Amino acid sequence: MRPVAAAPDPTKHFFQPIIVCLTVASVALTLFVIWISLHDLSLMRAGSEKFVGLDNYVRFLGDPRAMAALWRTVLFTTLATVIEIALGLAVVLFLDRDFAMKRLVRTLLLVPIIMTPVVVGLTWRFLFDPATGMANYLLSLAGISQVDWLGNPRIALFSVLIADIWQWTPFVILLVMAALESAPTDPLNAARVDGAREWQVTWYVLLPMLRRALAIVALIRAIDSIKAFDLFYIMTRGGPALSTETLNYYGYIVAFTNFDISYALAIAIILTVFTNVALLTMYSVLFPKGGDR
């Protein structure tokens, strides 16, 4: 027997229209994008649009530039996420004590996050200027010769990575710090009483407690790194010799330099699918079913 009249939920008048609007908008847009990606649509050849099926996707598979860009995206995302989490965690453990300037330090940590990426990019471009930049000046004090930070194709990607790490490690620190402060201290003390050494307390008790927070931060950072655009645009524009062209940036070039809209959207869809698969995999590894220690 069905319940005659379930208690009406008054909040539904609030969320239902919103859900409907969002669903319609996102489904319609996604379908439209897929539809265009199945055509040959170039803004420089108006009136010659035609249906080409999966041609744009086949073209992607045979496009070495796209493949190299995909690989660079993977490399950049992995390095950025891993280094930012590791560095952030180290700094959190270091800051996890009471000291006089704690509030000030926490405020200062916000500065890189608040700065607009354009300013960050320009600042690092000046720092990395081979002739007048601070980076080479510091190296020269140590007797190391000039490094062409953004002009050497073997180094440029890592120079952008440094800027990204500088900007986003504080984000990791803030989130993990918050998690740490809301975590109970009893288990730590219990472990100490049981005779565990300090590194054992950290490794076996503290880190497992922070696992969820770290996983969430890692997911957020990974998603952001895959989408990273502004630093690349400001610092290197994908150069030199394509050494900093990520898939996201390549998609931008195809759309707004080559005006090949349909291929650009195909790239965008591939990047979206790829990101979803990668992140869902990551998610299931980080949060195994039933395993919630």
Partner 1 sequence: MLTRRNLLMLGAAAAALGLAAPAVAQDKPFNGVQISVLLEGHPTTDAIQKMLPEFKEKTGIDVAVEVVPEADITAKELLEFSSKSGRYDIVQNNIIYLPGFVKSGYIVPLDEFLAKHKENFDKADFVPGYFNTNVLDGKVYGLPVYGESTFVMYRKDLFEQYGLAAPKTFEDIENAAKTISEKTNKQVAGITMRGQQGIQGVYVWAAYLWGFGGSFFDASGKSALAMPEGIAALDAFTKVLKDYGPVGVANFGWEENRLLFQQGKAAITLDATVNGAYNEDPAVSTVVGKVGYVPVPMKSTSPKGGSSSLAVHSMYVSAESKNQEAAALFAAWATAKEQQLKSIETDPNSGVTSLSALNSDSFGKRYGAFKDGMIAAINAGNPQYLPTVAQANEIINNTGIAVSKALAGTASAADALKEADEANNAALAR
Asked if 109 touches partner 1 (CB under 8 A), the answer is no
| 239 binding partner 1? (CB under 8 A) | yes
If the CB atoms of residues 29 and 43 are measured against partner 1, the closer one turns out to be 43
Q: How far is the CB of 129 from partner 1 (least distance, A)?
A: 7
Residues 6+ apart with CB under 8 A from 242: 65, 68, 69, 153
Question: What are the helix (H) ranges across 96-228?
Answer: 102-114, 117-127, 134-141, 156-182, 186-193, 198-200, 207-227
Of these, 71, 126, 204, 256, which contacts partner 1 (CB under 8 A)? 256
Find out whether 179 and 220 touch, Cβ atoms under 8 Å: no
Q: Which is nearer to partner 1, 148 or 224 (CB)?
A: 148
Q: Residue 42's beta-bridge partner residues?
A: 260
Cβ–Cβ < 8 Å for 236, 150? yes
Name residue 40's beta-bridge partners: 50
One residue of 87, 93, 130, 279 binding partner 1 per CB under 8 A:
130
Tell whether residue 47 is a contact of partner 1 (CB under 8 A). yes
Distance between CA atoms of residues 246 and 69, nearest Å = 4
Q: Is residue 238 involved in binding partner 1 (CB under 8 A)? A: yes
Instruction: Give the C-alpha separation, 109 to 18, whole Å.
Output: 36
Residue 14 or residue 259: which is nearer to partner 1 going by CB? 259
Q: Does 240 bind partner 1 (CB under 8 A)?
A: yes
- Exactly one of 188, 242, 278, 286 binds partner 1 (CB under 8 A); that residue is 242
Residue 236 near partner 1 by CB under 8 A: yes
CB 39 within 8 A of CB 49: yes
When binding is defined by CB under 8 A, the residue of 129, 192, 223, 224 that contacts partner 1 is 129
Tokens of 250: 């390549």
Tokens of 40: 């040959």
Considering the complex, state which of residue 40 and residue 224 has its C-beta at the smaller distance from partner 1. 40
- 233 binding partner 1? (CB under 8 A): no
For tokens 């201290």, name the residue.
Answer: 185
* Residue 260 binds to partner 1 (criterion: CB under 8 A): yes
Count residues binding partner 1 (CB under 8 A): 31
**112/239 with CB nearer partner 1:** 239
The strand pairing partners of 139, in sequence order, are: none
80-99 positions binding partner 1, by CB under 8 A:
none
237 part of the interface to partner 1, by CB under 8 A: yes
